[in-house]
Amino acid sequence: MKIFSDELVAEACRENNVADLGHATIGETLLVAQYLEQKTGIPFIRMDQGSPGLPVNHYGVEAEKRALDRGVGSQYPPAAGVRELKDAAHEFVKAFINVDISARSCVPTTGSVAGSFGSFIATTQRIPGKDKVLFIDPGFPIQKSQLRVLGIQWKEFDIYPYRGEGLRAKLEEEMADGTVAAIVYSNPNNPAWICLEESELKIIGEMATKYDAVVLEDLAYFCMDYRRDLGHPYEPPYVPTVARYTDNYILMLSSSKIFSYAGQRMALVCISDKLYDTYYPALKERYHDAGVFGSTLVAEILYMITSGCTASTQYGYAEMLRLSCEGKINFVEDTREYERRANKMKRIFCDHGFHIVYDKDVTMNVGDGFFFTLGYGNMDGSELASELVSYGVSAINLDTTGSKEAGVRACTSRMRDELYPVLDERMTAFNADHPL
């Protein structure tokens, strides 16, 4: 039996201007869930938004407070970031990815969202006619919304049928006309939690070099592929990255998930030194500057959007990165709670007839982490997302992420211990009401 009547769900949608619950955005889904919770007092299993569900890293907080007391709040921070953060970023990339990127080329942004926004601008303006972005989907819907703001065209494909060597022919097909300026994906993947393997990253890197496209590698869930023993500084295995296979890359390192620091809006773009130093006449013409990629991105693009990033938070992030390199912060163990939650949640769903949609990488089963994907029989994603709301569970339709597969994305971040039996009970009812 449903927890919330069809009438009540319809009311929640109407009151929140949600026209189509089955294809609702994260924000819309969240509003409906909050409305139903407040109206009835019945708790929701909130699997919609990927906001951290762990306490903020206290080393970062203490470093921010010290910086505030030193008075860093009064002066504009340098456009390229404060020295301590740039040095720490260089070292962190070396320690956990085993890639060399100079401190100069590590630049803070107001969240990775500002990093991708600025990078989309710079990469699509650098060569006339090369102005489209290619998404290896499923992906983060906000990045497409950014292109809508900027009026930039994009291409997209769902990687599901193109894992492993099949990726090469697909990329060749998408990139052959030379209009792709940038390739975007997150690894581990939001929403599917699949992880691109080294063989796939090698293909992407080779194609980026061949067609002079810049790879924007979103590492928001850095080292959170818990199947492997990542997260020991200066020791293999290192984080897989396209940076080993091309010089055309920008790595995006968010503080939001690994340090539970989303509220303070701080990330880094770590730009390949070779790309940083590349001269583009089109940039020079547009900005009347030297036309060098990195300095144009920093001084003529990012600076014009936020004029630097919150000073105290830069010192906080620097401290967390530095302590991670010294082994004093173990951010992998700090966030492993998400793995435990995913494991329990997936088991409950699968016990009641659900299946994991994106279930495999090339050589391994998909691991447990921040997100997972769910399908149910032949139900499409729209019906599943809508029906789950009636049973007090909020998730988003995979088709809002560029996926062609039927299903929903679930986030583990808001799960609480007392809700596992509730989830089990509700999914027992769901299964009974929807016989397979």
- Dihedral Cα 137, 89, 262, 29, nearest 10 deg: 0
Nearer Cβ to its own copies (71/236): 71
Instruction: Please identify, among the stretches 113-121, 127-135, 163-171, 239-247, the one whose residues bind its own copies according to the rule CB under 8 A.
Output: 113-121
Question: Mask of contacts with its own copies, 410-429, x by CB under 8 A?
Answer: --------------------
Indicate whether 402 belongs to the interface with its own copies (CB under 8 A): no
**168, 170, 232, 286: which one contacts its own copies (CB under 8 A)?**
286
Q: Tell which phi-psi region holds residue 405, choosing left (phi > 0), alpha (psi between -120 and 50) or beta.
A: beta
DSSP string, 202-235: HHHHHHHHHTT-EEEEE-TTTT--TTS----TT-
User: Distance between CA 361 and CA 192 in Å, rounded?
Assistant: 11
**Touching its own copies, residues 296-335 (CB under 8 A):** 299-301, 303-313
Scan residues 58-87 and list those touching its own copies (CB under 8 A).
60-61, 64-65, 68-69, 71-77, 79
Q: Give yes or no for residue 378 binding its own copies (CB under 8 A).
A: no
Angle subtended at Cα 411 by Cα 425 and Cα 11, rounded to the nearest 5 degrees: 65
Q: Is 52 among the residues that bind its own copies (CB under 8 A)?
A: yes
Among 47, 101, 113, 136, binds its own copies (CB under 8 A): 113
Q: Is 146 in the site for its own copies (CB under 8 A)?
A: yes
The Cα 208–Cα 246 span in angstroms is 7
Determine the interface stretch with its own copies among 53-61, 191-199, 236-244, 372-380 (rule: CB under 8 A). Answer: 53-61
Kindly state whether residue 375 participates in binding its own copies, applying the rule CB under 8 A: no
End-to-end CA distance of the chain: 16
Antiparallel, parallel or unpaired: β 132-137 and 106-109: unpaired
For 24-175, where are the alpha helices, taking DSSP H only?
26-40, 58-69, 83-97, 111-125, 141-150, 166-175
Measured from the CB atom, the residue of 146 and 272 that comes closer to its own copies is 146
CB 221 within 8 A of CB 257: yes
Query: By C-beta, is 352 or 414 nearer to its own copies?
Result: 414
Out of 263, 281, 327, 377, point to the residue binding its own copies (CB under 8 A).
263
**Hey, what are 365's tokens?**
């089963």
CB of 351 to its own copies, least distance (A): 31
In whole angstroms, the minimum distance from the beta carbon of 114 to its own copies comes to 5
117: contact with its own copies by CB under 8 A: yes
Nearer to its own copies, 8 or 56 (CB): 56
Closest distance to its own copies from the beta carbon of 265 (Å): 5
Q: Give the residue with the Cβ less far from its own copies, 31 or 250.
A: 31
Residues in the chain: 436
Residue 205 binding its own copies, by CB under 8 A: no
Asked if residue 161 has a cis previous peptide bond (ω within 30° of 0), the answer is no
Q: What six digits make up the tokens of 5?
A: 């009547």
